[in-house]
Amino acid sequence: MFLTVKGLSKSFDDQEVLKHIDLEIEKGNILTIIGPSGSGKTTLLRCLNALEMPNKGLFTFSDGLEIDFEKMPKKNELTKFRLKSGMVFQSYNLFPHKTALENVTEGPLIVQKREKQAVFKLAESLLDKVGLLDKKYLYPHQLSGGQQQRVGIARALAIEPELMLFDEPTSALDPELVGEVLKVIKDLANEGWTMAIVTHELKFAEQVSDRVLFMDNGYIVEQGPPAQVLKDPKEERTRQFIQRIMNPE
């Protein structure tokens, strides 16, 4: 097991957004997280990277790193925790004043203090992987939404994380650009990356997932293999959600 999470809770002021979440992520597996708006999906994902600090929760990694958020984690523990994952955001979050190449090299150079020549070689190979090597000197405003998101994926890969986190990576895209981003994610899945993906693309979730997790009102309502959760859900709330997504009025 790559990561085990026990008792994850998160509140904003007096609103409890995540309510005692337990989950496991296996190495090389893809977990997709689905559910209605406001169910806690994105907050859960951000807690997996400590972009949002959990109020409670014991995180145990396969290499022995263990962080209990009920206690105050040490700074070096949080740094190790955050470097285990790379985040791809819904709204790209690229630096507007930096080229595609500079966006990809930023983390390894500035945060990880890695050797410049090796970082630029890696960045070029990652831009090539996502089909954008010929765009390496362009700025975000010169790229389409799909291209910006693919730069975002290359940027997350550049820190060489063990876990890739995707927060609704296609929701800000025009429909004709969705496919190019999903293809890159499918390619990563085929390479054996460990991933957690918040998505509303249920057909995509069915194709790539090892496990699907359905959330509602801060709880995990149901989880299991995609064939079970998406095609034959046990819980009525899951069934209602999937029917509404698949058959919008």
The three-point CA angle 64-68-71 to 5° equals 140
Looking at the chain, the whole-number percentage of residues with pLDDT higher than 70 is 100
Q: Could you give the residue ranges of the DSSP H alpha helices within the chain?
A: 41-47, 75-83, 100-106, 116-129, 145-158, 175-190, 202-208, 226-231, 236-246
pLDDT per position as a tens digit, 116-145: 999 999 999 999 999 999 999 999 999 999
Position of tokens 């940027």?
A: 155
| Mean of pLDDT values over 77-92 | 90
pLDDT per position as a tens digit, 30-59: 999 999 999 999 999 999 999 999 999 999
| Mean of pLDDT values over 144-161 | 94
230 - beta bridge partners?
none
The CATH T-level fold of domain 30-42+87-246 is Rossmann fold (3.40.50)
Residue spans of the domains in the chain: they are 30-42+87-246
Position of tokens 């405003």?
A: 141
Task: Look at residue 235 in the predicted model and tell me its pLDDT.
Answer: 96
Torsion angles phi and psi, residue 92, rounded to 5: 75, -55
Confidence of residue 151 (pLDDT cuts 50, 70, 90): very high
| Mean of pLDDT values over 169-189 | 89
Helical packing angle, 145-158 and 116-129, nearest 10°? 140
Task: Look at residue 249 in the predicted model and tell me its pLDDT.
Answer: 62
Distance from C-alpha of 159 to C-alpha of 2, rounded to nearest angstrom = 18
Q: Looking at the predicted structure, is the pLDDT value of residue 225 above 70?
A: yes
Distance in angstroms between the alpha carbons of the first and the last residue of the chain: 41
Cβ atoms within 10 A of the Cβ of 62, count? 13
Q: Looking at the predicted structure, is the pLDDT value of residue 206 above 70?
A: yes
Q: Retrieve residue 6's tokens.
A: 């026990």
Distance from C-alpha of 51 to C-alpha of 243, rounded to nearest angstrom = 32
Q: Looking at the predicted structure, is the pLDDT value of residue 248 above 80?
A: no
Q: Retrieve residue 125's tokens.
A: 């190979």
pLDDT per position as a tens digit, 92-102: 889 999 999 99
Task: Look at residue 193 in the predicted model and tell me its pLDDT.
Answer: 94
